[in-house]
Amino acid sequence: CWKCGRSIEPDMEQYFCVCGVVQPPLEHRSFFQIFGIKEDFDIDLKYLNEKYRKLQVILHPDKYSQKSDTERGFSERHSSLVNEAYNTLLKPLSRGLYILHLKGEDLEKEVQVETEFLGEIMELNESVIEAEDINALRSIETSTNKIVNNLIDEISHNFKDKNTNSAKENLLKLKYLLNVAEKIQ
């Protein structure tokens, strides 16, 4: 412990010493380890949300406003890491990209999407631009959401089957489709 000098077990979820002070974050922990969940594309989002709230309650910097600069600084670093981990794991695209990152893989290199798919994306974008009313946009949104959900299922299977190349290709497709969904919004 930085304050009392006690030896602290290298527990992955160790935030406090028995003396009660916040310890420095273990920088080598993955985002999955921060939340105490298995490194997997399919995660329990309800558990993630609950754990996030619990961690923010105990680590939020506001709770340490009257503590030492050191403890306040550790709290800020923990809180920042928890926020970054939560925001990354919450969404399928960022979660998949993070899993690839942990495996030393890069989505932007070595992966290309078929020309046919890019043509479909162009058509979808044109449909969004040319939509005459809210009902037309809702129809495009519904069909896009179905494609997105099917792609997320495929990505899940890709990771389960340890098929990194297909996961990369499908994550890139998901990225394009989410851009279309954002334009619809």
The predicted-structure confidence for 96-119, as pLDDT tens digits, reads as follows 999 999 999 987 777 788 899 999
Query: Domain 1-90 belongs to what topology?
Result: Helix Hairpins (1.10.287)
Give the lowest-confidence range in 3-12, 82-91, 162-171: 3-12
| 57-110 per-position pLDDT tens digit | 999 999 999 999 999 999 999 999 999 999 999 999 999 999 999 999 987 777
Mean pLDDT, range 45-49, rounded to an integer: 98
Query: In the prediction, which pLDDT does 151 show?
Result: 97
Among 22-26, 31-35, 40-44, the least confident range: 22-26
What pLDDT, on the 0 to 100 scale, is given for residue 97? Answer: 96
pLDDT at 142 over 50: yes
> Which CATH number is 115-184's, of 3.30.300.20, 1.10.3720.10, 1.10.1060.10, 1.20.1280.20?
1.20.1280.20
pLDDT recorded at residue 3: 86
Buried b (16+ CB within 10 A) or exposed e, 145-161: eebbeebbebbbebbee
pLDDT at 160 over 90: yes
Measured distance CA(119)–CA(174) in Å, rounded: 15
Dihedrals phi, psi of 36, to nearest 5 degrees: 70, 35
Note the pTM of the prediction, 2 decimals. 0.88
How far apart (Å, rounded) are the C-alpha atoms in residues 68 and 86? 27
Residue 13 has a pLDDT of: 57
What are the extents of the domains in the chain? 1-90, 115-184
| pLDDT reported for residue 12 | 46
User: Is residue 168 pLDDT above 50, yes or no?
Assistant: yes
Query: In angstroms, rounded to a whole number, what is the distance separating the alpha carbons of residues 32 and 85?
Result: 8
